[in-house]
Structure 1
């Protein structure tokens, strides 16, 4: 039991959602109802994000130009191009949906909670970490889907007007409503932080469960051979090394102070399943979303395992 308690709660919840989807996938007549519940959970997740992010913090974070703009270019530029390059490198050898998964991984914004928490443990600039990660997620609502569509081309099926409307209705609209409702609900959210945190995690777990249920119904293991699984492991390793080493070196090239360089490392290298799973549920058909999510799920789990020793090492330096 003590070993389980040391594992990050989000990791436990994601693993649980995947196991339940493998054993008891939702399908048939219940599929539409499950998708509605998933969409409602995603709507709630982004509404709470809107309530939680103070407008004055957004304005304060925008003024930290030396960190924010290079971090944005790294997250949506360099990492997206790395995912695209990996997709091209595996053309003909990697299953097409898995290749799209690496591109999708590269286009996602960074995490908020874990990037901030590990930046704090390592002695980084916590205020800048909070604002930078939150702003990257806000930008991700606008950037990730069109960027993925642009780089994927015809392989991604294109992002049509109805897709943009769906993204706006389920992700952007609730965030705006949350910003409007800050005056009424901001105090309640701050006073009930544990409840809100579990509501966040539950929304993500539901999205992962529904996405993986579709993949299980389609017997995704038949779509990925042994070579494909090796590509998944190797490609995830390449993205992890590129993300961490590249973000750290970029901070040095920009001559950021130690606190901001640490913030650059964690916000630049980590990728958000909190954005990835809900957006995949909105963008992709049920029978492909689970396979496309495999790279971000593995990346997310490993990044949390790596983050603790990296933060501890930096804190001792």
Structure 2
């Protein structure tokens, strides 16, 4: 049962929410902290670029059917689900929380956890590495465009999406990633010897963003705007959204004739939504809006997907081990 419980990082995110609720940062301290947070985010994406070898990036590129299926799940299926649920969810949750649901539907896949769960479940790891990385990089362009298309058109009160927002995202996320790739050969051996420190930067930058975002949200009265009933309802909606998406993705991959390893890869890469890129992008795209309310669904969905995928990966691994033992006997 212990392996099904939330991991340490998930508990630390909850701790940041509690800390921001009790001791929110504000004023000049908040301004300085936001600058430090941006530096941490840039460092995070620099390290992501440095850790990925070019061979790993090129590996699996030719498996175009698998990649197209994952991209379709990430950038077509999820947005369709988010838009289709608007008549039901917006009256139930309110406008800002519904925007948060729709925003998470427009985000790219995760990188590290998608690959990790695919590896545990004995899926196609090289293809997962290629597809998840490409999804995250392309998502820097696709997600802002989708936000501009679905969250801005016809409503001046929604996100202040602009070309400058795309430039800010490129500067904060993509440029450090490219610089990391340029320095990859020299830096990767050093990074491989410092996994604990890399993990600290990786998780620490997200915790900083979460703390800053919810400090601002608490000052704006987020907990007075979200009732206990709404919070419970939001959790249920995130669970149902993930469940429906996973069912559609998994059975579609079977119908398309993919083998078991590819089905696992498509399931884990196509159903995940990134917190690491999603929160920094939301910080730029929704500047001046109820930022805390908009990212609340994403943070809940993130925890739910980690727990769910952890359980599924373990079961896939057990099934693979059982099949191997049967073949050997």
Task: Establish whether TM, by shorter chain, passes 0.5.
Answer: yes
- SS of 1:263's partner is helix
The separation in 2 between residues aligned to 1:134 and 1:17, in whole angstroms, is 28
Q: What's the CA shift for 1:4?
A: 10
Distance 1:33 1:131, change over 3 A: same
Alignment of 1:36-47 (within 5 A): 36-47=35-46
CA RMSD of aligned residues (A): 2.1
Residue among 187, 196, 199 paired with 2:198:
196
Distance 1:33 1:4, change over 3 A: farther
Distance 1:158 1:283, change over 3 A: closer
Flag the structure with larger Rg: 2
How high is the TM-score relative to the length of structure 1?
Answer: 0.93
Q: What's the CA shift for 1:72?
A: 0.7
The separation in 1 between residues aligned to 2:196 and 2:130, in whole angstroms, is 21
Distance 1:313 1:4, change over 3 A: closer
Residue among 184, 187, 190 paired with 1:185:
187
The separation in 1 between residues aligned to 2:3 and 2:312, in whole angstroms, is 21
Question: Counterpart in 2 of 1:280?
Answer: 282
How high is the TM-score relative to the length of structure 2?
Answer: 0.89
User: Which structure 1 segments of 5+ residues have no match?
Assistant: none
The separation in 1 between residues aligned to 2:84 and 2:26, in whole angstroms, is 35
Question: Counterpart in 2 of 1:221?
Answer: 223
Question: Counterpart in 1 of 2:261?
Answer: 259
Please say if residues 160 and 285 of structure 2, whose CA atoms lie closer than 8 Å, have aligned partners that are also in contact. no
Question: Counterpart in 2 of 1:15?
Answer: 14
Question: Counterpart in 2 of 1:242?
Answer: 244
Alignment of 1:1-317 (within 5 A): 7-153=6-152, 154=155, 156-225=158-227, 228-285=230-287, 288-317=290-319
> Please, which moves more after superposition, 214-223 or 89-98?
89-98
The separation in 2 between residues aligned to 1:227 and 1:20, in whole angstroms, is 22
The separation in 2 between residues aligned to 1:176 and 1:127, in whole angstroms, is 20
Q: Deviations over 1:37-65 (max 9, x none)?
A: 11111111111111112222222232111
